[in-house]
Amino acid sequence: MSHDALDGWLAEGLRLSFFGVSGWSQRAIFKEISGVEPAATTAQRMMQVYQEAGDVSHAHLTIVQQANRIDVVLGDRPTQNTVDPSLPGYKPFFSIGPFRQSLESFDSFAGKAVALLPNAIRVAYAITLIRPTSGSKEAIRAIHKLIPRIPVDPENDTDLLFQINRPTRDDRGLLINRLAKWEALQVTTVRVNPMGGPIPIMPATPPVSAAQIYIDANTDAGNIVPLNNLSELLSELRQHAVKLAEAGEA
């Protein structure tokens, strides 16, 4: 049985973005994409923003239409308790669930979104993964396994952040950016006086640590020609993003 390099990693968020969609008028599309009615809809006509959001199974789907951009985002429920471990349902970081399962759920939404749109000047497919750890050293070790060519000493190094874009061209000559970022996180929740009084800022909980991966596979920002075969392009960008998350800088 082959080893899964992303075993233990959770999906923090998945996003599909379209820029410059011609012939498109803002309308309600949440139900067409998710199969359920949105829990909330916000329309800001002056700013040309139309947003729909709601829970889908164990996650939260948000669809934002702007003047020149459409985003389909799957993430954790915004009401998730990530602050107080003494309250029910606490977890230290927002996450949807195991990466592979979350990716499969997002595939359905992404495929239906693509089917609605005639074209786009630019398309981006982004995934954010997170792996809670017992401490910062463990977070750095988890990242170093995916970027072994980068000199890192988990026992002594701190504040690890490595980002790089490795552009490539596909069989059609289309430029594909492959932006990746690996980061060791350490987060401390603090208590502040809601009345604004001069009390010391004290940690509310012990620091929590995690390893995080952000991958954004996207087409050329300088392109001005509408891209028509969005379904094929979605599959290509997804493949680049997943492969980079799996292989890292190995």
d(CA 41, CA 26): 13
pLDDT in tens, 185-207: 998 776 666 666 555 555 556 78
* Average confidence (pLDDT) over 92-110: 96
Which band of pLDDT confidence, cut at 50, 70 and 90, is reported for residue 83? confident
Q: Is 83 within 8 Å of 89 (Cβ atoms)? A: no
CA 109 to chain centre: 14
Which residues are within 8 A (CB) of 2 and not within 5 positions of it... i.e. 6 or more apart?
Answer: none
d(CA 150, CA 2): 25
In this prediction, residue 188 carries a pLDDT of 78
In this prediction, residue 86 carries a pLDDT of 85
d(CA 176, CA 239): 12
Nearest CA among 139, 186, 181 for reference residue 162:
181
In this prediction, residue 165 carries a pLDDT of 97
In this prediction, residue 50 carries a pLDDT of 97
* Average confidence (pLDDT) over 32-47: 96
In this prediction, residue 187 carries a pLDDT of 86
36 to each of 44, 102, 185, 204, 242, how far by Cα in Å?
22, 18, 35, 38, 28
* Average confidence (pLDDT) over 37-52: 95
Residue 100 has pLDDT above 70, yes or no: yes
Work out the mean pLDDT of the chain and round it to a whole number.
Answer: 92
Q: Which residue has the higher pLDDT, 191 or 235?
A: 235
Pure H helices in the chain: 30-34, 99-116, 136-144, 230-247
Both tokens of residue 194? 């809601």
Which band of pLDDT confidence, cut at 50, 70 and 90, is reported for residue 37? very high
In this prediction, residue 250 carries a pLDDT of 60
Q: Where do the domains of the chain lie? A: 13-247
Q: Which residue has the higher pLDDT, 23 or 51?
A: 51
